[in-house]
Amino acid sequence: MSFELRLGVNVDHVATIRNARGGGHPDPVRAAQLAAAAGADSIVAHLREDRRHISDDDLARLMETIDIPLTLEMAATDEMLKIALRHAPHAVCIVPERREERTTEGGLDVALGHNHLKRFVDQLTGNKAIVSMFVEPDRRQMDAARSIGAPAVEIHVGAYCDALTGGTEAQAAEQIERIVDAAGYGAGLGLQIHAGHGITFDTVGPVAAVPEIVELNIGHFLIGEAIFGGLDSSIRHMRALMDTARARSQSEAGA
């Protein structure tokens, strides 16, 4: 089993703060450069249909400026497909999107949207992007992602994070078990397994310990925590927690 566990830092909410006032400060591109210096392996940005945080100009500047890979999160719409094909980011994560939601509240139903989504996977992988589907920890979604030729999935871990912080121990245990099961099953199908949504210093350990997960994408908490200790410190601390949890799970597995 590989030790690799990459950290993708989502800079959307730097743009949220900027947009609260208009103007250019704080700049998500500057945050992306700082994140790279602090040990991020990639930068993540979600260009939403309503442009509520990242703008088209941010995306263009991120593509031009950063020298680590960029993951573009996008809804499966023709407008976004055109943009993704034009910029050719390293990776694209297809997410469900509803205007009225505050954030991405659940995973895509790849099984239901099979025919619609396959076209996106074909065109984006043809453009050399690593395409992932943002899905719930569910074997059916792993099968569906595999069947449309997606090379990767990102498991939505929000239900686990919510259960750990606001639910019972049994609920958290049940949710992490779903993640462990889906990650093992998906990796067995040959999918690259990523995870994200709602991860904090308190919730990262058990997710980072899942050996099949090779990438965590984290945004809101890191940007929020940066208010108190700086972005560099919040990323370095997250990275250390991830690496410690993964090293411990590997040594337990080998023991």
Binding flag, residue 219, ligand PXP (CB under 6 A): yes
Give the side-chain half-sphere CA count within 13 A for 162: 7
Alpha-carbon gap, residue 34 to 75, rounded angstroms: 27
107 lines the binding site for ligand PXP (CB under 6 A): no
Catalytic (active site) residue 73: yes
Tell me if residue 181 falls in helix, strand or coil. Answer: helix
Q: Which of 137, 198, 206, 211 binds ligand PXP (CB under 6 A)?
A: 198
CA distances from 10 to 45, 119, 186, 239 (A): 6, 26, 24, 14
Tell me which residues in 127-146 interact with ligand PXP (CB under 6 A). 134
Of 58, 136, 138, 154, the one binding ligand PXP by CB under 6 A: 154
Q: Are 222 and 182 in contact (CB under 8 A)?
A: no
Minimum CB distance to ligand PXP smaller for 33 or for 203: 203
Site for ligand PXP in 1-30 (CB under 6 A): 10
Span near ligand PXP by CB under 6 A; candidates 22-30, 177-185, 215-223, 233-241 = 215-223
Cα–Cα dist 240/219, whole Å: 16
Q: Which of 13, 73, 97, 212 is catalytic?
A: 73
Asked if residue 218 binds ligand PXP (CB under 6 A), the reply is: yes
Q: Does residue 237 have an active-site annotation?
A: no
Structure token pair of residue 246: 């993964």
Three-state DSSP at 154 gives strand
- The catalytic residue among 13, 53, 194, 197 is 197
Residue 52 binds ligand PXP (CB under 6 A) = no
Where does this chain touch ligand PXP (CB under 6 A) — which range of 16-24, 109-117, 191-199, 224-232?
A: 191-199
Q: Pick from 46, 48, 53, 246 the residue near ligand PXP by CB under 6 A.
A: 46
Site for ligand PXP (CB under 6 A): how many residues? Answer: 18
Min. distance of Cβ 10 from ligand PXP in angstroms? 5
CA 192 to chain centre: 13
Tokens of 89: 């980011």
Binding flag, residue 165, ligand PXP (CB under 6 A) = no
The answer to whether 97 contacts ligand PXP (rule: CB under 6 A) is: no
Task: Give the separation between CA 100 and CA 94, rounded to whole angstroms.
Answer: 18
Exposure string for 3-40, b = 16+ CB within 10 A, e = fewer:
eebbbbbbbbbbbbebeeeeeeebbbbbbbbbbbebeb
Measured CA to CA, the distance from residue 234 to residue 227 in angstroms comes to 9
Residues found near ligand PXP in the complex (CB under 6 A): 10, 46, 73, 93, 95, 103-104, 134, 154, 196-199, 217-221
